[in-house]
Amino acid sequence: MPAVTDIGIDLGTSTVIVYVRGKGILYQEPCIASYDSDASRITGFGSEAAARIGRTAGSAVGIRPLKDGVISDFVVMERMLRYFIRKSLGLRNILKPRICISVPSGVTDLGRRELEEASYRAGARETVIIEEPVAAALGAGLDISRPSGNLVVCVGGDITEIAVISMGGIVMLQTIKIAGNSFTSAIQEYIRAEKGVIIGRLRAEEIKIALASVSSDPSVRSVRVKGRDQDSAVPREIEITAQEVKKIMATPVHQIVDAVRAVIEKTPPDLANDVAERGIVLTGGGAMLSGLEHAMEKSTGIRTILTDAPQQAAAIGTGKYIRMASELDRQRA
């Protein structure tokens, strides 16, 4: 008899990450669907959808069912969720899985119910929805069950969630619309305004990764990128340096840091003292911006730690939550 498959899914505004018990992270794909407006139908999800958009003949457009931390298209979200659940189960699984879904804290009660119902329709035996900061804290290895404060900063695609967590729940929360996509947009705008060249988001994202990520090669001081001259509309190649990108990132970094400071100032004194002792934990793909943790530590005076595999922390946390639930089931049996 096949074993029950437990699945953890981190639904982010930019990325869907799927954890399968016993296998770890199985999929990490864009949170996007491709829609053929001529045929009036969805043609793909995730990486398959991203490959279609702008690269195939016809009228394929992208639909992001999560925007600014809320579900903007329930129909597409349900179909995407079913797609990833069934893709994770494969054809051999017979027993229904237990599923844990991590969502941005701004998702409404209605959105949560819709996700639960969608997962049951996709074949779930049991579904639990948890907030992304809680999942990220678990994935970062924090013990959130104790009556002490932990400050987790989740820098995602569209939003940054700043949460003080204690006894398994969120005590203080601030969400701002400054995150990874803000960094990308800032690069695009700088190159247009200062260099007179228009580049796409993919190129701006490549520049960010090459020059502003903690995984960047320190020997790479600049990159050359091709775009379209905004006056003549002809292709033109320009150079952008790491120093320029650092200056570009300064404003959104300060906005995130200021929001973290505001949360700390509003946190009850006992929990704030816990945070000062334990430090600030950074998670999310946007947290990989080089220097973000140092800027936060300098501004707050509190030790700031970039967790291992920050983009996957919430998905790993859903897996830990499932294991905890499985252990409780065995203890009750």
Residue 54: what pLDDT? 63
Residue 324: what pLDDT? 78
Which residues make beta-bridge pairs with 330? none
Q: Which residues of 214-230 are buried (b: 16+ CB within 10 A; e: fewer)?
A: eebeeeeeebebebbee
Amino acid at 56: T
pTM of the model: 0.90
Closest CA to 19 of 70, 71, 85, 78: 85
Residue 118: what pLDDT? 86
Residue 21: what pLDDT? 84
CB proximity list for 79: less than 8 A, separation 6 or greater: 33, 42, 45
Backbone CA torsion sign across 259, 134, 20, 9: negative
Residue 329: what pLDDT? 61
Residue 182: what pLDDT? 95
Residue 222: what pLDDT? 95
**DSSP assignment letter at 5:** P
> Which residues does the chain have with pLDDT short of 50?
1-2
Residue 296: what pLDDT? 96
Q: Do 293 and 306 form a contact (C-beta atoms < 8 A)?
A: yes
Sheet holding 60-63, edge to edge: 41-45, 33-36, 60-63
Q: Do 284 and 261 form a contact (C-beta atoms < 8 A)?
A: no
Residue 162: what pLDDT? 98
Residue 2: what pLDDT? 46
Residue 1: what pLDDT? 38
